[in-house]
Amino acid sequence: MGDPYEEIIDYAETAGVDMIVMGTHGRSGLDRFLLGSVTEKVVRTADAPVLTVRLSGDT
């Protein structure tokens, strides 16, 4: 329970992970602003490096 990005960061710190890997939806501009982005919040606030992977349009 809680904010997803905070839970991800808390888990990463507790588990001592070396890197966080997260997918993106490829949203940009206004869509990203209006919908928010868990990945973006993790990238901006995590102490561990974050690798983002853009999901293909086939999924």
Helix, strand and coil percent figures for the chain, each rounded to 5: 45, 15, 35
DSSP labels, 9-38: HHHHHHHT-S-EEEEE----HHHHHHH--H
CATH annotation of 4-54: 3.40.50.620
pTM of the model: 0.77
Q: Domain extents for the chain?
A: 4-54
Provide the residue-wise pLDDT of the chain in tens; the chain has 59 residues. Answer: 899 999 999 999 999 999 999 988 766 677 666 556 888 899 999 999 999 988 776 55
Q: Quick check: 39 and 20 in contact, CB under 8 A?
A: no
Number of Cβ within 10 Å of residue 19's Cβ equals: 10
Both tokens of 22, joined, read: 């997260």
